[in-house]
Amino acid sequence: MTYALPAGPRPAPRRQLFISTAMVVVAGTMLMGGMLSVWLRFRAAAPTRPTSDGLRQIKDWLPADLKMPEVVTNVGLLTFLVMCVMVQWAAYAARRGDSKHVVSALGLTLLFGIAILNAQAAIFVQFNVGVASGAYQSMFYAIVGTLTVLIVSGLVFTVASLFKSIGGRAANTDLLNAHALYWYFLAAAYSAVWFVVFVQK
Amino acid sequence: MTTIETHASGTQVRATSSDSAVGAFLVGVGAWATTTDHKRIGRLFIGCALLIAIAAAALGAVVGVERISATGYSLLDKDSVTQIFSLYRVGLSFGVMLPLLLGVAIAVVPLQVGAKTIAFARAAMFGFWMWLAGMGLAVGSTIANGGPGGGNAKMVDLFLLGMGIAVIGALAAAVSVVTTVLTSRAPGMTLLRVPMSSWSALTGGVALVLTLPVLFGTLVYLYVDHRYARVAFGGNKGVSDWMGWSLTQPQTYVYVAMGAGVLAEIAAVVSGKRQVLRPVLLTGIAIVSIASLGGATQVQHAVTWTNTSASDKVKELIPFLIFNGLPLLGVLVVLGVSLLGIAKSKPRLVPAMAPALLGLGMVLTGMVGHLVSLFGPAQLAGTVFEEGEFIYVSYGALLIGLAAVSYWGPKLWGRVLPSSAVLGISGLAFLGTVLAALPMYIAGFANQPANVANNFSYSGPQELWNTASAAGHALVAVSVLLFVLTALRAFTAGEVAGDDPWDAQSLEWSVSSPAPSNNFVSTPSVASAEPLLDIKPAGGQK
C-alpha cells in the first residue's frame, strides 16, 4: 500500500550554491589552516644556530640564499583587498538586477584575478630556490602551490559566473553571493599565508 | 538550482530496443558510469565498499595467520609485511567505513528529506569516480612496493597521489550530502524533524568536511617532500607517522558518524511508535561527530598521570574526555534511547535491527577500548590493543552498513532480503568481529607489539590469540561474501517488496519500491517528524 502525503507548496529558493560553497570554504579553511599549522610546527622545532656575528642564537630554518619577493607578495595582498570590493560590487549589482554592473564587476574581478595569478608566478620565479634544496623549500612550494591552485579554481568560478551573467542570468544572487564568499575566503587564506609564510617566514 | 535526472528512462528505451546484447550491455555500463541518479551513485559506493571489505578482512586473516608462528615467515616475507598492514588499514578506513556509510547516505538522504534528487548530483558522481580511481591507485601502488614505508619511491609517490584523489572524491560526495539536508528538505521538514539517518549524514558529513582537508594538506606536504626533497617528513618511513592519525581512533569515529543514526531510525520502526526523546537522540548523534576535533588537531589526547599534581591530572583529563569520551557518550545515548523505546513497546521484527544493534555495540566496544588504551597507567601504547579497537570500530561500521542495505534494500532494489539470511549473516559477522578483536585486547595486555607479524614473545597462549583473531577475520570475510551473494540473488530474483514493507515512519516509504527516478511526483508536505504515522490509521500504532 502506498501512502499519499499531501503535496506541499512550491519550496522557496534554498540558496543551494551558496550553502555548498560555504561547505567548500569550510573545507578550504581547514586545508590552509592545517597546512599553516604544520608549517608553524616545523618552524618552532627548527634547530638553532649562532648568527654570523656570533652574538645570538637564531632558528636554522630559512635557507641562507633565500630571496623572498616581498614587493610582489605585498602587491598581491593589496590586489586581494581590491578584489573583495569587486566581488561585492557584483553581488550588490545582482541584487538590483543591474546586468551591466554585474558584468563589469565580474570582468574586473577576472582581470585582478589574473593579476594575482601573475603575482603568484612571479613569487615562484623570483624565489630562486629549488624545491629539492631542503625542508623549508619543499614546504614553501607545497603551501604556496596549494594556494595557487585555490586561486585558479576561483578564476574558473569567476569565468563561469561571467558567462552566466552575459548569458542573461545576471540577477542570480545565489551564484554571485557564492562567488563573493569564495573570493573572501581566498583573501583570508592569502592574508594568513602572507603573514606566516611571506612576512614571518 | 535543482538537477533532475533525465537520462535513465531514455537509456532504458535505447537499451531494450537494441538488437545487440553487447550494445545493450555497453549502453547499460555507460548509463551507470555517467548516472546522476543518487540511488545508483549510492549503490556504486556500497557495492565497491563491500567488495573491498571482503579483501580487507582476508588480509586481516593473512596477518593473523602470519602471527601464529612468531618466529619466522610462513605466508609473507619480510618486505611485504609493511605493505599488507598498510593495505589492511587503508582498505578498512578509506575503502570500507567511509564509502559504505557515505554511499548509504547518498542513496537514502534525498528520499528521506523529500527531495527529487541529491544536490549537485554530478559532484556526487564525480566524487565516486575520484574515490574509486584514487583507491585503485593507492592499492595498486602499495602492492607494487609503495604505500607507507614502501621501498619503491615512485610507488610511494603514486600512493600519496592516489590517497589525495580519493580524499577529494569523498569530500565532493560529502558536500553533496550535507547540502541536500540543508537545502532540499520538503516543506514543513525543519532540521528537528529530519530523520535520524539524515541527521547523522549531516553531522557526519560536516565532520568529514572538517577533517579530510587536513589530511589532504598533509598529503600535499608529504607528496612534494617525498617527490623532490625527502628531508622534512622522514621519507617513506614518515608517511605512516604523518597520515597515521587518519587510519586510527578517534578519526575512525568520524567515518562511522554518518551511520550513527541508522540504529535509531530502525529502532523507532521496530517499536512502531514516535520517538519521544527525539531531541536527546539528535544530540547524541551529533556528539559522535565531536571526534572530528581529534582528527583536525592530529593529536592523541592521552592521560599519563605519572608524577603530576592533582591540577595537572585535571588538565590532562579534560581534553582526554572531550576528545575521546564525548563520542563514546554520543553512542551510549543513541544505544540507550533506542533500546528504551523498544523496551516500552511491543517490538516488531525488522531483521536489519540485529546488525544495526550489533554494529553500534561493536563501535562502542572499540571506543571503550580506545579510552582505556589512552590511560597511561594501563601501558597499552604500541601494543595490538589498539588494533583490537580498530577492528571493533571498522567491523562495527561494516555491520551498520549491512543493516542499512537490508533495511533500505526494498527502496533501492524493489526486493527484500530474506530475514533468516540477514539474521544469520549478521550473527556470523558479529562472531567474526569478536573473534578478530577480543584476542587483540587480551594480547595487548600481554604486550604483543602492534604492526609487526614476527619476532615477539610473551607469556601466555599467544598462538591461541592470533589463531582466533585470524579465524575471526576469515569469518568476517566469509560473512560479507555471503551477504553479497545473498543480496545479488535476492535483489534480482527475490521476493518483491511492498512500498512500505516495515510499516515505517519516514518519507521514503511513501513512494513505490524501488523508488522512481525522480523520487517524488510532487513535493510532499510534512507536519511532523514521522510524516507517515500522520496519515496511517491510528497513527501507525498497532
B331-358 residue pLDDT tens: 999 999 999 999 988 999 999 999 999 9
> What was the pLDDT predicted at B303?
84
CB contact under 8 A, A1 and B500: yes
Check whether B196 has a pLDDT greater than 50.
yes
Residues of B in contact with A124 (CB under 8 A): none
Check whether B436 has a pLDDT greater than 60.
yes
| Phi and psi, residue B449, nearest 5° | -70, 150
Q: What is the average per-residue pLDDT within B62-86?
A: 82
Give the model's confidence band at A24: pLDDT under 50 very low, under 70 low, under 90 confident, else very high. very high
CA distance A41 to chain B (A): 12
Considering only CA atoms, which of A40, A84, A74 is closest in space to residue A185?
A84
Q: What is the average per-residue pLDDT within B171-184?
A: 96
Distances, alpha carbon A142 to alpha carbons A191, B157, B217, B417, in Å: 17, 14, 9, 49
Asked if the structure places residue A35 within a domain, the reply is yes
Pull the grid cell for residue B325: 569520551
CB contact under 8 A, B525 and A5: yes
Check whether B11 has a pLDDT greater than 50.
no
Helices (H) and strands (E) in chain A, counts: 5, 2
CB contact under 8 A, A134 and B499: no
CB contact under 8 A, A38 and B217: yes
Pairing of strands A48-50, A57-59: antiparallel
Interface test with A, best of B176, B215, B220 (most A CBs within 10 A): B220
pLDDT in tens, B458-474: 888 888 999 999 999 99
Q: Does B27 touch chain A (CB under 8 A)?
A: no
Q: What is the average per-residue pLDDT within A93-108?
A: 93
| Phi and psi, residue B415, nearest 5° | -135, 160
Residue B119, amino acid: A
**Is the separation of the CB atoms in B230 and B319 below 8 Å?**
no
| Phi and psi, residue B274, nearest 5° | -70, 145
Residues of B in contact with A28 (CB under 8 A): 213
- Placement of cell 573583495 in the chain: A84
Domain count, chain A: 1
Q: Higher-confidence residue: B155 or A54?
A: B155
Closest-CA residue of A relative to B497 is A1
Check whether A1 has a pLDDT greater than 70.
no
Residues of B in contact with A141 (CB under 8 A): 224, 228
CB contact under 8 A, A31 and B217: yes
Closest Cβ–Cβ partner in B123, B187, B231 for A11? B187
> What was the pLDDT predicted at A5?
75
Vertex B284: Cα angle to B281 and B285 (nearest 5): 90
Closest Cβ–Cβ partner in A5, A33, A146 for B510? A5
Size of interface A-B (CB pairs under 8 A): 148
Considering only CA atoms, which of B221, B211, B213 is closest in space to residue B241?
B221
Q: How many CA atoms lie within 13 A of B387 on its CB side?
A: 29
Instruction: Report the C-alpha gap between A159 and B173 in whole angstroms.
Output: 24
Asked if the structure places residue A45 within a domain, the reply is yes
Check whether A67 has a pLDDT greater than 90.
no
CB contact under 8 A, B525 and A3: no
> What was the pLDDT predicted at B307?
67
> What was the pLDDT predicted at B8?
47
Check whether A61 has a pLDDT greater than 70.
yes
Q: What is the average per-residue pLDDT within B388-402?
A: 97
Q: What is the average per-residue pLDDT within B51-64?
A: 95
Asked if the structure places residue A2 within a domain, the reply is no
Instruction: Report the C-alpha gap between B235 and B223 in whole angstroms.
Output: 10
Q: What is the average per-residue pLDDT within B57-67?
A: 92
Residues of B in contact with A140 (CB under 8 A): none
> What was the pLDDT predicted at A13?
59
| Phi and psi, residue B299, nearest 5° | -125, 135
Give the model's confidence band at B539: pLDDT under 50 very low, under 70 low, under 90 confident, else very high. low
Pull the grid cell for residue B509: 516509504
Residues of A in contact with B114 (CB under 8 A): 8
Buried b (16+ CB within 10 A) or exposed e, B170-205: bbbbbbbbbbbbbbbbbbbbeeebbbbbbbbbbbbb
CB contact under 8 A, B498 and A42: no
CB contact under 8 A, B183 and A14: yes
**Is the separation of the CB atoms in B124 and B166 below 8 Å?**
no
> What was the pLDDT predicted at B363?
96
- Placement of cell 550491455 in the chain: B25
> What was the pLDDT predicted at B135?
96
CB contact under 8 A, A2 and B510: yes
Please name the residues in contact with B106: beta carbons below 8 A apart, sequence gap of 6 or more.
Answer: B38, B41, B42, B45, B118, B124, B173, B176, B177
Interface test with A, best of B118, B122, B175 (most A CBs within 10 A): B175
Neighbouring CB atoms inside 10 A of B55's CB total 17
Asked if the structure places residue A4 within a domain, the reply is no
Q: Does B177 touch chain A (CB under 8 A)?
A: no
Check whether B7 has a pLDDT greater than 50.
no
> What was the pLDDT predicted at B136?
96
Question: B34-38, B262-266, B459-463: which range is least confident on average?
Answer: B459-463
> What was the pLDDT predicted at B161?
96
CB contact under 8 A, B510 and A3: yes
> What was the pLDDT predicted at B523?
85
**Is the separation of the CB atoms in A5 and B524 below 8 Å?**
yes
DSSP B523: -
Asked if the structure places residue A66 within a domain, the reply is yes
> What was the pLDDT predicted at A12?
62
Considering only CA atoms, which of B189, B191, B198, B34 is closest in space to residue B111?
B198
Enclosing domain of residue A59: 17-199
Instruction: Outline where B34-152 has alpha helix (H).
Output: 38-68, 81-90, 98-113, 121-143
> What was the pLDDT predicted at A85?
95
Closest Cβ–Cβ partner in B229, B500, B512 for A138? B229
Asked if the structure places residue A62 within a domain, the reply is yes
What is the SS3 assignment for B136-199?
Answer: HHHHHHHHCCCCCCCCCHHHHHHHHHHHHHHHHHHHHHHHHHHHHHHHCCCCCCCHHHCCHHHH
Asked if the structure places residue A6 within a domain, the reply is no
pLDDT in tens, B482-498: 999 999 999 999 999 98
Terminal-residue alpha carbon distance, chain B? 41
> What was the pLDDT predicted at B10?
44
Check whether B37 has a pLDDT greater than 80.
yes
- B514 cis-preceded (ω within 30 degrees of 0): yes
CA distance A140 to chain B (A): 9
CA distance B476 to chain A (A): 35
pLDDT in tens, B221-240: 999 999 988 888 888 888 88
Q: Does B221 touch chain A (CB under 8 A)?
A: yes
**Is the separation of the CB atoms in B399 and B353 below 8 Å?**
no
> What was the pLDDT predicted at B76?
76
Q: What is the CATH number of the domain that holds A33?
A: 1.20.120.80
pLDDT in tens, B289-328: 887 777 777 777 788 877 678 888 888 888 888 888 899 9
> What was the pLDDT predicted at B9?
46
Instruction: Report the C-alpha gap between B523 and A106 in whole angstroms.
Output: 36
Q: Higher-confidence residue: A8 or B460?
A: B460
> What was the pLDDT predicted at B82?
81
Check whether B97 has a pLDDT greater than 60.
yes
Interface test with A, best of B157, B182, B243, B293 (most A CBs within 10 A): B182
Interface test with B, best of A1, A2, A5 (most B CBs within 10 A): A5
CA distance A37 to chain B (A): 9
Q: Length of chain A in residues, anyone? A: 201
Considering only CA atoms, which of B263, B411, B406 is closest in space to residue B330?
B263
Residues of B in contact with A135 (CB under 8 A): 225, 229, 231-232
Considering only CA atoms, which of B87, B97, B148, B119 is closest in space to residue B392?
B97
Check whether B396 has a pLDDT greater than 90.
yes
CB contact under 8 A, A2 and B532: no
> What was the pLDDT predicted at B542?
44
Q: Does B216 touch chain A (CB under 8 A)?
A: yes
SS3 content of chain B, % helix, strand, coil (to 5): 70, 0, 25
pTM over 0.80: yes
- Taken in order B270, B273, B279, B280, the sign of the CA dihedral is negative
CA distance B178 to chain A (A): 8
Residues of B in contact with A174 (CB under 8 A): 1
Asked if the structure places residue A95 within a domain, the reply is yes
Check whether B17 has a pLDDT greater than 70.
no
Check whether B254 has a pLDDT greater than 50.
yes
> What was the pLDDT predicted at B258?
93
Instruction: Report the C-alpha gap between A171 and A175 in whole angstroms.
Output: 9
Instruction: Report the C-alpha gap between B265 and B330 in whole angstroms.
Output: 15
Q: Does B245 touch chain A (CB under 8 A)?
A: no
Question: A185-194, B178-187, B529-538: which range is least confident on average?
Answer: B529-538
Q: What is the average per-residue pLDDT within B435-444?
A: 95
Check whether B422 has a pLDDT greater than 70.
yes
> What was the pLDDT predicted at B186?
92
Beta-bridged to residue A49, according to DSSP, are A58
B1: buried, middle or exposed (CB in 10 Å: 19+, 13-18, 0-12)? middle
CB contact under 8 A, B509 and A174: no
Check whether B71 has a pLDDT greater than 90.
no
The residues on A that touch B, with CB distances below 8 Å, are 1-11, 14-17, 19-20, 23-24, 26-28, 30-35, 38, 42, 131-135, 137-139, 141-143, 145-146, 174
Pull the grid cell for residue B318: 579534560
Q: Does B172 touch chain A (CB under 8 A)?
A: no
pLDDT in tens, A132-185: 878 888 999 999 999 999 999 999 999 999 999 998 877 789 999 999 999 999
